[in-house]
Amino acid sequence: MNLLIVTNIYPQQELGGYGRSIADFAWGLQNRGHNIQVLTSDAPELGIGSKVGPSHEPVDRSLKLKGSYSGGVKHMKDTRERRETDQHNAKIIRHWLEKICWDGILIGNLDLLGTELIHVLLEGGCKIQHHIGFVHPPFAPSECPVSSNYQMVAASTAVKTALINAGMPTTEIPVIYPGARMEKFGVKKTGMLAPLAANGNPNRPLKVCFAGLLMMSKGVHTLVEALIRINQSGTCVQASIAGDNFQQGYREELERLVKQENLEGVIRFVGQLKRESLARFYSLHHVGVFPSIHP
């Protein structure tokens, strides 16, 4: 089948894990013999974007964002500029709809592109699955596309529940988990054995890690506060925190708290990691922690 994937950002340009998960869907579909075309934006603030994706899938980065991801989400405020961007994106999408007869379309994250594009994509007359990875609905219930060709798909049961509770006009929302590329991790990939068993002493500390965007909803401050208490109790725990700062002042406040407690050598911030480095990162630790505040 010919499948079109439309999403706001795509590797090699990355922000959090969602772009990677869409790229993994592309990898899985391509491995099953489908022809994949990715349509996305070019966000140079996130690195250099290639016309070829991680699995050698073709990527068109002609869409334009209504804002940027430089230092967090920044929305385009000029009404005329937003309208012109919408018109540009609609033109690009129609070009692709006319160029190839699509059997299906997978929509990822439309932040800064706008959900208005869904109505343009529906002009293609094929089935559309909109994979929603966040508990915040992408649009108000009244704006949900009314078409037998459109279907929302949730990345987890929690996301499905949130969509239903938000009043979406359907409860028929399948759950398709992003999954994990297990062959990208583990001893066979990294050549690294697990760290020595921990006993909580300074010479054998428990090593924990977090990887994700640094923002309030990810709950990293909860992890830092817990680490401070555990170390104060006499149990030695070390932590590494990976990920880009996505909320102004958030990482700085965490670092201030760590410094205040004299734990700079115990809790480290290592920045954003590519998947290869992330595999080695996990191999260095005993426990991965995901302290998200919601749902």
Q: Are 11 and 118 contained in the same domain?
A: yes
Domain membership of residue 238 as a residue range: 183-288
Instruction: Give per-residue pLDDT as tens, 231-243.
Output: 999 999 999 999 9
Per-residue pLDDT, averaged over 172-188, amounts to 88
Domain count across the chain: 2
Read off the pTM.
0.88
Q: Are 19 and 153 contained in the same domain?
A: yes
In this structure, the strands spanning 67-68 and 74-75 are antiparallel
pLDDT at 190 over 90: no
Could you give the CA distance from residue 221 to residue 249 in angstroms, rounded to a whole number? Answer: 12
Mean pLDDT of the chain: 93
Q: Are 242 and 107 contained in the same domain?
A: no
Could you give the CA distance from residue 277 to residue 174 in angstroms, rounded to a whole number? Answer: 33
Final residue of a domain: which of 179, 205, 231? Answer: 179
Here the CATH number for the domain that contains residue 20 is 3.40.50.11930
Q: Are 73 and 112 contained in the same domain?
A: yes
In a domain, residue 83? The reply is yes
Which amino acid would we find at residue 293? Answer: I
Residue-level pLDDT at 295: 59
Residue-level pLDDT at 108: 97
Here the CATH number for the domain that contains residue 268 is 3.40.50.2000
Q: Are 165 and 49 contained in the same domain?
A: yes
Output the CA torsion 58→39→73→146 (10° steps). -150
Instruction: Give per-residue pLDDT as tens, 60-115.
Output: 999 999 999 887 788 999 999 999 999 999 999 999 999 999 999 999 999 999 99
In this structure, what DSSP letter does residue 137 have?
-
Q: Which residue has the higher pLDDT, 183 or 211?
A: 211
Q: pLDDT-based confidence at 188, cuts 50/70/90?
A: confident
In this structure, the strands spanning 74-75 and 150-154 are unpaired
Q: Token pair for residue 206?
A: 């428990």
